[in-house]
Structure 1
Amino acid sequence: MRVVPADSLVAFVIAAAVIIVVPGPGVLFIIGRSLALGRVGGLVSVLGGALGQVPLVVLVAFGVGTIVASSPPLFLAVRIAGSAYLVYLGVQAIRHRRRQASTDAATLPPASRWRQLGEGFVVGVTNPKTIAFFVAVLPQFVAPAAGSVQLQLLELGLVFVAMAVLSDAVWALVAAGARAWFGRSPRRIQTLTATGGAIIIVLGVALLFVGGH
């Protein structure tokens, strides 16, 4: 059952759409993963990242996110962890580019897909700017007179996650399409995989020093 008033929900959807459609670090991560892993790997990463955002929505709704965002040491720790993990994923993509070029993505074992899902989850849950965004933006669209503030924050956060999934999936398909187009040559696939890894590394370093969502 909807809790957020209709006018507030519409205003939030418009604001969220404006934020989501502008390419940012999250889009760069999905593009890098799709170039490195292909269509299914990119979409699995999108799903993993979305699942990683769900706990952040819950934490923000119940006040924990505010504590993290307002504590410089905790916020820095999350930034370092998230950035380091991105760099690790980028390095792994570059190291294993030859294996990626010679592997049929459709035949990967389920364990590999679960690993990719887990990697996307870690990136999603350790994105400090997502916490900051939820803390700063979601409360602006809450109407206390309409009911539980926590439920309204949860609803708004999940709406944002759903919208982001749709947008990120489009980017994943576009990037994977480019990979498939170049896929007639194993050498070109290696280059694209390494390029995707480099994008993720640069993103990790950039997030550490300048932040971003």
Structure 2
Amino acid sequence: MELNVSDLSVSRGGIAVLEGLSFSILEGEALVLRGPNGSGKTTLLRTIAGLQPPLRGTIGLEREAMAYAGHSDGIKSVLTVRENLQFWADVFETGAIDPALQAFDLSALENRPAGGLSAGQKRRLGLARMVVSGRPVWVLDEPTVSLDLASVAMFAEAVRAHLAAGGLALLATHIDLGLSEARMLDVTPFKAIPPEIDDFDGDFL
């Protein structure tokens, strides 16, 4: 399993934000995207995950190999923790959800409606979807939002387990996850050059 990105350019609102990105992530590897707010990390992740088309370039992996977690937790508040994970297990056509409950310390909360969880607990439930997905490629956008230090460490262990099982991960985060083995990629040098605006009056001279 390998994710290959070649000469990729991505846009937000029809305007290029990043261009000329090329990188590869091998089985068992994690790549962490860095860059200031608004630099295009979310747009890049959404493009790689197949949620929007690239301006140009290629993404050498099928969308069906990827599981994406964005800013939304992707949970249904009226369902219990277990029912939420079972819903996603059915969507991804995978098996037991107990490993996901254990990985994110949710077993004691499994019968609680998701709407009654704290922000951090909701985030852990949302991230537990990645384990349930059974997909080898995790694409994660600011996954540690609302998590305390203990939960950040818990998430890092889940990523390590995923990598050890032959998966790979692409993450955007400003937080040090303690994943010393992860490679870093600063997207700032790939910022797209804005198009020049013609002098409107010049058209009439």
Tell me which interval the TM-score lies in, with the shorter structure as reference length. under 0.3
User: Which structure has the highest helix share of the two?
Assistant: 1
Structure with the larger RCO, 1 or 2 (CA within 8 Å, 6+ apart): 1
Calculate the TM-score normalised by the size of structure 1: 0.25
